[in-house]
Amino acid sequence: MSVGRPRVAILCNPLSGRVSRDWASVRALRTAVGSAAYREASTPDEVGVALDELALGRGEALAVIGGDGTTQAVLTALHSTMPEARWPLLIPLSAGSTNMTALDLGAGGTLAATVAKLRRWRAGECAEGKRVQRPLLLVERPGHGPLCGMFFGTATVAEGVRFFRRRLRGRGVASEGTSSLAILRVLFSLARGGPANAGVDRLSCRVDDGEEFEQQAILGLVTTLHRLLLGMRPYWGCEDAPIHLTLVDRDAKALWRSLWRLGLGRPGRRLTPERGYISRNIHRLEVQFDGPFVVDGELFEARSAG
């Protein structure tokens, strides 16, 4: 390891969608860093234990071999144990069923190619990659510990994740395209007059400037990522704030014909609040609803009564 390179540790989720197909790359990276700097973890509790054992700090690096859910578990564990100023540099590798965080931060490509580049960088054989910063979302619920991540979704997003888990997971097809198919399948169904119980109960929002929204939302998302699955950017707020908020009402006008505008964040004259489409850039959001929600690909449940 060349002088000036930080200490690198590895946290691998062996149950992530792509890991089982490329154990050779994982083993090669494990050999490179040594067993003392390698841990495996699949649940949030296991992630917390692994981070305690690795004992990383500022100026060191943690490569996360997993998907969005694994990265979310790492961020949540770090938030609960140390100030953000002391966090190690995080290197998420695209090894899960969804990898929006890794792709948005520039860590795309196959697991084998990314691992090979990481090994060369650690050995001083290539220049340091570009460091990218993104604000984090902190999701707080009464009676539960906080969740830390990059993406929050309700309604169609949660239904898409459920569909993926029931119908697609475990079939050897884990990819960004497969995950996108799950979301699009549900959205197309809703746009064509899908089931009446789809979406969430009445959703009430209050953003940082006091503005309030209330919808029977079929789509609700909050994110600090610049791009989502398949490069989609379904937000078009003009405010100077780091968090993107987009809501689509169940009775939104011309949803079927406006899907492409929604996915690309091009509102034109169709995607307006009067027609059931809201998008803002915000600093803080208070939201009440009953139903499932997603943080970085993992499902949770909300109850407005607390």
3-class DSSP assignment, residue 244: strand
Joined tokens for residue 71: 């990265």
Q: How far apart are the first and last CA of the chain?
A: 51
C-beta atoms surrounding 22 within 10 Å: 16
Each residue of 96-127: pLDDT tens digit?
Answer: 888 999 999 888 778 888 878 887 887 777 77
- Give residue 131's pLDDT: 84
Question: pTM of the full predicted structure?
Answer: 0.88
pLDDT category, 35, cuts 50, 70, 90?
A: confident
Domains and their CATH numbers in the chain: 8-133 (3.40.50.10330), 147-302 (2.60.200.40)
Kindly report, residue by residue over 204-256, the tens digit of the pLDDT: 999 997 889 888 888 899 999 999 988 889 999 999 999 999 999 988 999 88
pLDDT band (50, 70, 90) for residue 2: very low
